[in-house]
Amino acid sequence: MRIKTALLAAAALIAATAMPANAHRQWLLPSGTIFSGGDPWVTVDAASSNDLFYADHNAMRLEAVKAWRPDGSEAQIKNAATGRYRSVFDVQLDQPGTWRIGSAQSGVMGTFKVDGVEWRLGGRRGPPPALGAQAPANQVSSVAEIPANATDLKLTETSGRNEFFATKGEPSAIKPLGKGLEMVPITHPAELVQDEPAKLRFLVDGQPAAGLKVTLVPGGKRYRDNEGVFEVTTDADGVATVNWPMAGMIWLNASLSDDKPATPRVTARRMSYTATLEVMAP
């Protein structure tokens, strides 16, 4: 059941963060990203919606949300609660430096055949065809369950990260994770200012993600005539240069597909990265 839940969550995350502009986006909205004082806390809303940062569609599930201190140790998520349209949680910033807070999901999904009959890996089982009938059996929840004689394998490895960075006191370095699609800022997230160019590096498995299209959407669309979405593309070193058109919370998303999965018997990989960044007024 735990494996199946993880697969479903991965599918939901990929779908929510790789949709066109008029579809629901999944987001984390912190109360702030720059803190000082002896005992600061960050409060976070988590949901998916059409207009960014307005909870009017679905709450985000919090099972995969974690917080990492600047030294890499994991901190406790506190006061977590899930309502109809949003989830909320707190993190006590008990260590100076820059924190990473968010979720990371991975899984495999797709189809294959056994003796000419199509089976499915991952996804939600459908309801029984009639009252009292058994649920469909042609479905498995992990690659290990696929029979050795299976044919026509069409399996995709999925991974997604959705996060923000919170800094207490002096900013500290954000270290690369070296796995999947990620952002390792050159301009620190605590130093983003309207009309000042910032450089953000994107990596795939620790290597530069060249030619990657990055979509950025400012919050507050409810109070504008247009969405304000804009795009930048990374250079040969995986670096995107962003000139922020306004201050406020910005939703960033990038997605990438390739043929380099880590899971045996899988031939394709789809990755997504999402972040919420706070841009300050000059």
Q: What is the pLDDT of residues 11-35, one digit of tens each?
A: 444 444 444 444 679 999 999 999 9
Q: Whole-prediction pTM value?
A: 0.86
Count of structural domains, the chain:
1
- From the number of C-beta atoms within 10 Å of its C-beta (0-12, 13-18, 19+), residue 226 rates as exposed
Please name the amino acid found at residue 148. Answer: A
In this model, does residue 223 exceed pLDDT 90? no
The domain spanning residue 268 has which CATH number? 2.60.40.1930
- How many C-beta atoms surround the C-beta of residue 3 within 10 A? 14
Domain assignment present for residue 171? The answer is: yes
Q: Is 71 helix (H, G, I), strand (E, B) or coil?
A: coil
The pLDDT tens digits for 231-278 are: 999 999 999 999 999 999 999 999 999 999 999 999 999 999 999 999
In a domain, 172, yes or no: yes
Question: In which band, very low, low, confident or very high, does the pLDDT at 126 lie, cut at 50, 70 and 90?
Answer: very low
Distance in angstroms (rounded) separating the CA atoms of residues 253 and 60: 17
Residues 39/97, Cβ–Cβ less than 8 Å:
no
Range of the domain at 275: 2-107+157-176+256-279
Q: Say what the pLDDT of residue 24 is.
A: 79
- Residue 123's pLDDT band (cuts 50, 70, 90): low
Angle at the Cα of 32 from the Cα atoms of 28 and 38, rounded to 5 degrees: 130
Contacts of 225 (CB under 8 A, 6+ apart): none
List pLDDT tens digits, range 67-113: 999 999 999 999 999 999 999 999 999 999 999 999 999 999 999 99
Residue 66, Cβ density class (10 Å: 0-12 exposed, 13-18 middle, ≥19 buried): middle
Q: Is residue 192 part of a domain?
A: no
Residue 137 lies in a domain: no
The verdict on residue 227 lying in a domain is no
* Alpha carbons 141 and 122: distance in angstroms, whole number: 5
The reply to whether 270 falls in a domain is: yes
Asked if residue 191 is part of any domain, the answer here is no
* 167 part of a folded domain: yes
